[in-house]
Amino acid sequence: MAQKAEKFLLSRLSRASLAFFVAVAVACALLGEPLTAACAAAAAGIIISGRSFHPGRAASPWPTVQKLFFATLILLLMMSFWTGPWALSHWLYALVLIAFALVPRGIATLVTVIMVVLAMAAAHWAEGIADRHQMISAFLLTILLSALLIFLREYKTRQLAPLRRTDELTQAASREYLSADLHKEIQRSEREGTDMSIIMIGLDAHASDNDPDEDIRSILPRIGRFLHSQIRDFDTYYRAADLQFLVILPGVATHEAITQAETIRKGLGKLLETHGMNLTVSTGIAGLNIGDDANSLHQSAANALRRAQQQGGNRSQAYSTWAPNNNQTRAEGSAP
């Protein structure tokens, strides 16, 4: 809930900031201050190309576009040291926070150092400005406070990282923990000599989309709740990709996992149909074999799911299993 509130507030703040900078750019252009207008336009570009303005901005090429707007702003501020107006010096106060938010820390540090050196050099030669030394002192103090805020945010992120194990949209476990958790379950299965299977679940329509549309995103929380209702207390499920989930089933043989996968697939199909969505679901099943590790087992299930979708979707496909009645079902590329 806190993460949703944070995103909501950032989105509203982004839109308000965009309106402000657009107004500043238009006003300065009309008043004959092209450099200030260009800086405001570059700031507006940084905002409109950011993920806070729209979630889809996280996909390519928007991060690159945002960095280009940031580079433009840096060049305009550097130009202002020599051509004026010195009123643009106040834009430097937010430069450190913007730099560390948009570019890697090494580049952000380099940009900060360069701008500090240039600002001090420009202030030294700008003898006509009486308060130039006070401006540099305020600038340096702002940099120190910004560095403190960056350190505290990084420290908070590292402290809270172990607690953020769930995807906020679906309440499934985060994909960042999938590999480690799968490795632990494989070790436990091998140590206890028990079976283990995993199920990859994917929506067939728009399977190649990096940014699902709003209708699909709206149904994802219900899919998460349905999956939670279908697994045991000690099973775990993860949001492996935007439209894919992975379920770990300790102590379950592959042919049993196939039955459960079919139950999940049909149940999700009815759920989607109930909400008027013309989508189908496919599943890929893989059982733990000798020599498997977390990556190979995950890849086996992903290959089985991909094979099911290549065959038209709306079906379950096992990577390499023995099912009752001597039915041998293999995905493409499986070992005999």
pLDDT in tens, 147-173: 888 888 777 777 665 555 677 677 788
When the pLDDT of each residue in the chain is averaged and rounded to a whole number, the result is 80
- Residue bearing tokens 């952000």: 108
Write down the pLDDT at residue 205. Answer: 67
- Residue bearing tokens 């992975």: 246
Q: What percent of the chain has pLDDT over 90?
A: 29
Mind giving me the DSSP string for 185-242? HHHHHHHHT--EEEEEEEESTTTT-SS--HHHHHHHHHHHHHHHHHS-TT-EEEEEET
- pLDDT bin (cut points 50, 70, 90) of residue 264 is very high
- pLDDT bin (cut points 50, 70, 90) of residue 262 is very high
Q: Domain spanning 175-330 has what CATH number?
A: 3.30.70.270
- pLDDT bin (cut points 50, 70, 90) of residue 324 is very low
The C-alpha atoms of residue 335 and residue 209 are separated, in whole angstroms, by 30
Please say whether the beta carbons of 82 and 128 come within 8 A: no
pLDDT at 210 over 60: no
Write down the pLDDT at residue 111. Answer: 85
The most confident of the ranges 60-64, 157-161, 174-178, 183-187 is 183-187
The C-alpha atoms of residue 22 and residue 37 are separated, in whole angstroms, by 9
Helices (H), 49-167: 62-83, 95-102, 105-125, 132-160
- pLDDT bin (cut points 50, 70, 90) of residue 23 is very high
Write down the pLDDT at residue 195. Answer: 94
Q: What DSSP character marks residue 59?
A: S
Token pair in block for residue 292: 């498997």
- pLDDT bin (cut points 50, 70, 90) of residue 4 is very low
Between 62-83 and 34-48, two packed helices, what is the crossing angle to 10 degrees?
Answer: 160
Name the residue with higher pLDDT: 167 or 326: 167
- 118 CB-near residues (< 8 Å, 6+ apart): 78, 81
Please say whether the beta carbons of 264 and 245 come within 8 A: no
Of the candidates 230, 327, 218, 335, the residue with the CA atom closest to the CA atom of residue 283 = 230
The C-alpha atoms of residue 254 and residue 96 are separated, in whole angstroms, by 54
290: left (phi over 0), alpha (psi -120 to 50) or beta: beta
The most confident of the ranges 12-16, 21-25, 74-78, 258-262 is 258-262
Reduced to 3 states, what is the DSSP secondary structure of residue 122? helix
- 142 CB-near residues (< 8 Å, 6+ apart): 92, 93, 96
Write down the pLDDT at residue 86. Answer: 60
Write down the pLDDT at residue 211. Answer: 44
Omega before 324 cis (within 30°)? no
Mean predicted confidence (pLDDT) in 186-190: 93
Write down the pLDDT at residue 196. Answer: 95
Write down the pLDDT at residue 206. Answer: 52
Question: What is the torsion angle, in degrees rounded to the nearest 10, for the CA atoms of residue 53, residue 59, residue 65 and residue 67?
Answer: 90
pLDDT at 330 over 50: no
Mean predicted confidence (pLDDT) in 274-295: 90
Write down the pLDDT at residue 335. Answer: 35
Write down the pLDDT at residue 189. Answer: 93
The C-alpha atoms of residue 224 and residue 229 are separated, in whole angstroms, by 9
pLDDT at 325 over 90: no
CB atoms within 10 A of CB 323: 16
- pLDDT bin (cut points 50, 70, 90) of residue 62 is confident
Write down the pLDDT at residue 202. Answer: 93
